[in-house]
Amino acid sequence: MRSVGSTYRIGVDGGGTKTELILIDETGAIVTRHLAPGCNPNIAGPEQARAIILEALGQIHREPVISTHLYMAGAPSWWREFAADLRDFGTVSSHHDALPVLELATSGRPGLVLHGGTGSFVAAHAPDDTVHYAGGLGWRFGDPGSGYDLGRRVIARGLLELQGWAPLTRFGPLVQHQSGLPVDETTVTALTRHFYQNRDPNKTIAALAPAVLHLATEGDEAARTMVLESAKPLLDLALQVATRLFPATPLDALPAGLSGPILTHPAVQAALVPRSPLPLTPITEAPIMGVHRLMTRD
């Protein structure tokens, strides 16, 4: 039973891979947490995204909820409409999913964050207290430093190796193994058809990233090079953002976080940190803790 006079607020971090929710009480303490599948409507589709988030909200709801804070990936206008239509969850607001990791990186102060998971983006908190967002164009357009981009590059290289047009590395066998096709059916034509016709291509292609990162950690030079080639354009974008938004601040004095399972991986850090004038610091807390900070900071 709840204490007399207790009120609750719900915070949501909704991404393409997973959706995490917290319920906090009037003191800001976390009462319970809940994990659900990804609910990005650009990936799951609008109807599935709606079903996932409604089910998750129902699992964590307690009376009375006075406010619900949604930090969601994909289609901001869709989430604003969803928030406007949601009932019995108090005052509902929707926000960009970059804000929680930006909060973890900067604690509300000027600075920026580079995020790399299934997708990627750069977010910055400018000196004038405005928030800026760069990249995050979606898996179809590359998202450098993301699991999808890394997987895409490895497949392209592996297929060229299997065709006989590139020096052999471990990428060709990795692509063959990842496809799940019988060994005698992993021709270039069959592999190409497998990845192009897959019902969930972004996740299927991004699924190669952990294996490539593992190879890089083992010291595989081709994998290390591939990791750098994938992540370096995101760092270049971050430097462009930093130079424009913080012209009076030395880059080495600007808070800059690395967020997400790709960019916080030791192999990626080893590739990026020595090449960055920004003091890149990996974020170890989950994005939902950034949601918690945003809900309780004021």
Residue the block writes with tokens 């012209």? 247
Which residue, of 96, 117, 147, is where some domain finishes?
96
pTM reported for the whole predicted model: 0.89
- Domain total of the chain: 2
pLDDT tens, 143-160?
999 999 999 999 999 999
Residue 207 lies in a domain: yes
pLDDT tens, 225-276?
999 999 999 999 999 999 999 999 999 999 999 999 999 999 999 999 999 9
pLDDT tens, 75-124?
899 999 999 999 999 999 999 999 999 999 999 999 999 999 878 999 99
Pair (177, 116) in one structural domain: yes
Burial of 144 (0-12, 13-18, 19+ CB in 10 A): buried
Residue 142 pLDDT exceeds 80 = no
Pair (53, 114) in one structural domain: no
Residue 103 lies in a domain: no
Range of the domain at 256: 108-283
pLDDT band, very low/low/confident/very high, at 1 (cuts 50, 70, 90): very low
* pLDDT value for 4: 56
Pair (82, 139) in one structural domain: no
* pLDDT value for 173: 95
Task: Return the minimum-mean-pLDDT range out of 41-45, 129-133, 138-142, 257-261.
Answer: 138-142
Residue 290 lies in a domain: no
Three-class SS of the chain = CCCCCCCEEEEEEECCCEEEEEEEECCCCEEEEEEEECCCHHHHCHHHHHHHHHHHHHHHCCCCEEEEEEEECCCHHHHHHHHHHCCCCCEEEEEECHHHHHHHHHCCCCEEEEEECCCEEEEEECCCCCEEEEECCCHHHCCCCCHHHHHHHHHHHHHHHHHCCCCCCCHHHHHHHHHCCCHHHCCHHHHHHHHHCCCCHHHHHHCCHHHHHHHHHCCCHHHHHHHHHHHHHHHHHHHHHHHHHCCCCCHHHCCEEEECCCCCCHHHHHHHHHHCCCCEEECCCCHHHHHHHHHHCC
Pair (22, 86) in one structural domain: yes
pLDDT band, very low/low/confident/very high, at 5 (cuts 50, 70, 90): low
Pair (168, 52) in one structural domain: no
* pLDDT value for 297: 81
Which residue, of 96, 125, 152, is where some domain finishes?
96
Provide the CATH number for the domain around residue 45: 3.30.420.40
Which residue, of 96, 125, 150, is where some domain finishes?
96
Q: Are residues 151 and 206 in contact, defined by beta-carbon separation less than 8 angstroms?
A: yes
Pair (159, 27) in one structural domain: no
Residue 236 lies in a domain: yes
Residue 296 lies in a domain: no
pLDDT band, very low/low/confident/very high, at 16 (cuts 50, 70, 90): confident
Residue 38 lies in a domain: yes
Pair (176, 136) in one structural domain: yes
* pLDDT value for 209: 95
pLDDT tens, 28-84?
999 999 999 999 998 889 999 999 999 999 999 999 999 999 999 888 999 999 999
Residue 289 lies in a domain: no
Residue 1 lies in a domain: no
Pair (135, 252) in one structural domain: yes
Pair (118, 259) in one structural domain: yes
Pair (241, 135) in one structural domain: yes
Pair (133, 206) in one structural domain: yes
β pairing state of 30-37 and 18-25: antiparallel
